[in-house]
Amino acid sequence: MNKWDARMLDLAALIATWSKDPSTGVGAVIVDPQNRVVSMGFNGFPRSVNDHLKALQDRDEKLRRTIHAEDNALLFAQRDVTGCTIYTTHPPCARCAAKIIQAGIGRVVTPEAAEDFVARWADDTASARAMFAEAGVRVDVCGGGLQVERRSPAEVLTRVKLTDKEARHHSVSAVAYWNNAVAACIAALSVQGGEA
């Protein structure tokens, strides 16, 4: 995992914290080959669809209504994503994998999945991995795992922003880059989130 992979996974973790799903918040970030953020998404109901507590707590109803994070990121991309990389906080399911492949994404980066997630989605993620392999989409699983639900947005924001020292080593534009990335993130979230 390189520096940019770590940063983008952190950004995906930040986005995941905005999901209203009571069991699993998932975040996804699509970047171009120059590491520019192209789109982002989290799991949730479609815009303006009622996501009151009752619907969220009825598991079957919730699954029927929910758009997955990867799917939302693809839907909100304002451009062709051929050759882009998608960072996700959890391994993509088979349906999202099919859409990721069809959209032309070239690489998928995820952290190692937690045991409870693997137990619930094992068959689905196995199909996804098989399809990615058949389609020639590179999958990188980064060790360490992300504690998405345990982190506050402020904690993650602190991690994705460069420190002053790092900024001096890079350039002012690196700071501007992250500020823009976070602003784009918040703009995307406000559109996807529907009712607050």
Residues at the site binding Zn ion, with contacts judged by CB under 5 A: 68, 93, 96
Q: Residues with Cβ < 8 Å from 102, sequence gap 6 or more?
A: none
Nearer to Zn ion, 96 or 105 (CB): 96
d(CA 68, CA 184): 19
Q: Got the DSSP string for 125-185? A: HHHHHHHHHHHT-EEEEETT---GGGS-HHHHHHHHSPPHHHHHHS-HHHHHHHHHHHHHH
* CA-atom Rg of the chain in angstroms: 16
Q: How far is the CB of 92 from Zn ion (least distance, A)?
A: 5
Token pair in block for residue 111: 């952290």
d(CA 73, CA 38): 9
Q: What is the dihedral of CA 119, 19, 16, 131, to 10 degrees?
A: 50
Nearer to Zn ion, 98 or 184 (CB): 98
Q: How far is the CB of 64 from Zn ion (least distance, A)?
A: 14
Q: How far is the CB of 26 from Zn ion (least distance, A)?
A: 8
d(CA 135, CA 193): 32
Nearer to Zn ion, 5 or 92 (CB): 92
Q: Which residues are marked as active site?
A: 70
Q: How far is the CB of 68 from Zn ion (least distance, A)?
A: 3
Nearer to Zn ion, 96 or 182 (CB): 96
